[in-house]
Structure 1
Amino acid sequence: MLPALFRATILSLTVCATALPAAAQPTSWPEKPVRVIVPYGAGQGADVLMRLIANELQKGLGQPVVVENKAGAGGNIGMLAAAQSKPDGYTFLLGTNATNAANEFLYPNMGIKPASDFDAVALIGILPSVLTTTEPNLPTNGIAALVAQAHTQPGALSVGLPSTTAIVVLAQLNKSAQTKLQGVRYKASGQALTDLMGGQIPLLIDTVTASRAHIASGKLRALGLTSSKPSDVLPGVKPIAEQGVSGFNVVGWDGIFAPHGTSPDILKKMSTLLRQATEQPDTRRKMIEIGVEPLYLDSQAFDAFVKTERNVWGDIIRTNGIAID
């Protein structure tokens, strides 16, 4: 669900030297470690990505980048902690399509407003999900076989859903393919993968980050990617859209946000450092290895992108009547 990229209008910002006392000017930022809140658990895809990016960021910042995990409530706990932090340039959020686009339509009492409580800093990557199976009758790139089986056995096949993104992917797949696959929700990937490989569920929608090693070992077979085009993150696996479900495209993303009111100078510097980090050949290679396609957008382009994504994810959630219990 990645719309055409935006060419945002570049705004000229004139800052009067007398507008702030000298001590408040961010010219020496940062003077201490910078914290990035990851609203998911240690070892999950977002955490792995942020720690990789943090290693490059701190070279440019000249200060340590501390990754702090605050998981729970679909990412809302970490979001709340970031939103309530001082907008002084020392706290950032690794936000996702779930936390900053979908959750406001799933959780009626979030306690925060992503659109107004955060300033966009930079998009750093997009994440296709992958539908995997252990069913012996479903081959690699076997979406057509899955759809045919689902039509003959409506409601009989269950799919593990360890994330908000997975919940939305399944709803859209059922609508697009006119199937009735049944979702089984999990709090995280670990238990879902255990149940899939143990035969408790036949199918799983998850990140490439979580699934890749098990696909490579042969324990799982990849039926299809949720992106509209093939991806370097999982070579040889066809998109669902190329296997009879025309137009299917539901893709996650990761980006950096700051508490609203953070200095534009700090946002610009952080965005530039993130661009430099994602341009490093070794970093790009490692991002692809963990299932993330590097894609940079600066603050203004990312802000426009998030506004569009919020509408897209909101429309899918409302149309399909998706709710979080």
Structure 2
Amino acid sequence: MPTIFHQTRFMTLRCKAAALTVGVCLFSMFSSPVHAQDYPTQSIRMIVPFGPGTSTDTVARVMANAMSESLGQSIIVENKAGAGGTIGTEQVARSPADGYTILMGTVGTHAINKTLYKKLGYDPIKDFVPIGLVGQTPTLLIVKADSPFQSLEDLAVAASKPGGISFGSAGNGTSGHLAGELLKARLGGEMTHVPYKEGGMAVTDVISGQTQFMFYHPAATLPHIKSGKLRALGVSSATRSTSTPETPTIAEQIDGEFDLVAWFMIYAPASTPAPAVNALQKALHTALSTQAVKTKLSSQGVEQRDLATTDLNKFSQDEIVKWAELVKQSGAQID
């Protein structure tokens, strides 16, 4: 018969084994991967790497509200602006890959910045998994309504004269700046770039005649066009914009290719579990299919574009290559 000592020792070992089993179960429960049936269980943050009221912010809030309905959890938009969108974008890249922090990325954060910044704190391909393309927006080439410029040919003639002309943008390396540089390469002549701290200031100076033209998105320019303060001479996309179908494309008017559009894509940190990615993609697809979202995006000049999820990385890589050429051509560089 075992002694009391041996009985006690046996019971102690059995208790330790039981405790270890419970510990393993608890560890497994709290460290298990995200499952489709239980994601999401809490609110999700959507980081916007630009300030409130910007086109990216407006698009993000439309999508956050619509996707929340499908997911059954709120998506809270947080603005983390600064350094051309790199601050907020890097924050998402370094966030836990659990599906609860996502990003409204843009052509700037995930294509242009790759070449524009000497030291970029994130890799736009390796550090993210794309959820889906929200849409794209062409920019309008605008001039003052009562200016003598009635066509691109008029701009080319003015640029060929001593002193040339000037064009504004929302800043060095922005899509508007690079579109202006491409136009300069296509038309020739002297076109001096004038960067502004934000696009609204640049639009104001086109209206006042301080600069001769600029490329900017329809949401900010159409109200001024309708009020008679600005005139649109062309659209930067390969096809005419649904917002201004009467405005010819740049490509229609010049001898050479011209196809530049800004775009918005939702991303999650790399290694985000597949069930979370799938749930977010489903919610995005559902949102983009509703008429209410289509109408709201259209009012911002955002045009939907069908792109399979399997093509998203190739799309991003192709965009990096395309914009890299323009960044190098412009000479723009940010340390």
For residue 302 of structure 2, the aligned residue among 284, 288, 292 is 292
Once residues 28 and 232 of structure 2 are traced to their aligned partners in structure 1, the CA distance between those partners, rounded to angstroms, is 58
For residue 137 of structure 1, the aligned residue among 131, 148, 153 is 148
How many residue pairs get matched?
A: 303
Question: When you count helix as a share of all residues, which structure comes out higher?
Answer: 2
**Residue type of the alignment partner of 1:25:** V
Q: Note the 1:212-291 alignment, pairs <5 A.
A: 212-291=222-301
Query: Does the 8 Å CA contact 2:92/2:269 hold for their aligned counterparts?
Result: yes
Q: Note the 1:1-325 alignment, pairs <5 A.
A: 21-22=28-29, 23-27=32-36, 28-134=38-144, 136-139=147-150, 142-153=151-162, 155-163=163-171, 164-324=174-334
Q: Secondary structure at the match of 2:206?
A: helix
Q: Give the TM-score taking structure 1 as reference length.
A: 0.88
Once residues 133 and 115 of structure 1 are traced to their aligned partners in structure 2, the CA distance between those partners, rounded to angstroms, is 37
Once residues 119 and 110 of structure 2 are traced to their aligned partners in structure 1, the CA distance between those partners, rounded to angstroms, is 15
Q: Rg: which structure is higher?
A: 2
Once residues 28 and 255 of structure 2 are traced to their aligned partners in structure 1, the CA distance between those partners, rounded to angstroms, is 59
- Once the two structures are TM-superposed, the CA of residue 89 in structure 1 deviates from its matched residue by 0.3
Query: Does the 8 Å CA contact 1:271/1:298 hold for their aligned counterparts?
Result: no
**Residue type of the alignment partner of 1:241:** A
Once residues 240 and 179 of structure 1 are traced to their aligned partners in structure 2, the CA distance between those partners, rounded to angstroms, is 17
- Once the two structures are TM-superposed, the CA of residue 26 in structure 1 deviates from its matched residue by 2.7
CA-based RMSD: 1.8
**Residue type of the alignment partner of 2:312:** F
Q: Secondary structure at the match of 2:126?
A: helix
Q: Give the TM-score taking structure 2 as reference length.
A: 0.86
Q: Secondary structure at the match of 1:80?
A: helix
Query: Does the 8 Å CA contact 1:83/1:118 hold for their aligned counterparts?
Result: yes
Q: Secondary structure at the match of 2:168?
A: strand
Once residues 21 and 174 of structure 1 are traced to their aligned partners in structure 2, the CA distance between those partners, rounded to angstroms, is 61
- Once the two structures are TM-superposed, the CA of residue 35 in structure 1 deviates from its matched residue by 0.9
Q: Secondary structure at the match of 1:68?
A: strand
- Equivalent residue, structure 2, for 1:9: none
Once residues 25 and 79 of structure 1 are traced to their aligned partners in structure 2, the CA distance between those partners, rounded to angstroms, is 23
Can you give the 5+ residue segments of structure 2 that lack an aligned partner in the other structure? 1-26
- Equivalent residue, structure 2, for 1:17: none
Once residues 57 and 245 of structure 1 are traced to their aligned partners in structure 2, the CA distance between those partners, rounded to angstroms, is 43
Query: Does the 8 Å CA contact 2:186/2:254 hold for their aligned counterparts?
Result: no
Once residues 229 and 236 of structure 2 are traced to their aligned partners in structure 1, the CA distance between those partners, rounded to angstroms, is 20
- Once the two structures are TM-superposed, the CA of residue 245 in structure 1 deviates from its matched residue by 4.2
Query: Does the 8 Å CA contact 2:118/2:334 hold for their aligned counterparts?
Result: no
- Once the two structures are TM-superposed, the CA of residue 296 in structure 1 deviates from its matched residue by 4.0
